[in-house]
Amino acid sequence: MTHVLRDGDVVGRYGGEEFGIILPGMPLAHARIVAERIRATVMARDIKKRGDMGSLGRITISIGVAQFRKGEKLDALVERADACLYAAKRAGRNRVVSEDDPEFRHERSETR
């Protein structure tokens, strides 16, 4: 992930298998491009075992992208990003879904 990010961007583990990435000042459309680059970079790597360095093969990731809205609480942002992540998983995994994508908007309208 760090090969794709800028100085000042922040990566942290969020839960067991999830990561959060903060891209300060980046518009949603650009954040989606960064997420797609991360997805493609991860998918292209051959994962090795720690002990004997044997191949575990390739892995895929699903990514949800949301943008902070002025005045909102952090929980609301995380909730939207998480909803985008699960929309990506339901849409077939190994993809990026942002809050302006049809997959996300469709799911949000069904849950209301």
The residue among 63, 1, 88, 68 whose CA lies nearest residue 28 is 68
Active site amino acids: 17
The Cα 59–Cα 76 span in angstroms is 29
CA R_g for the chain: 15
Neighbours of 8 (CB within 10 A): 9
The Cα 15–Cα 98 span in angstroms is 20
Dihedral of the alpha carbons of 41, 16, 20, 76, in degrees to the nearest 10:
140
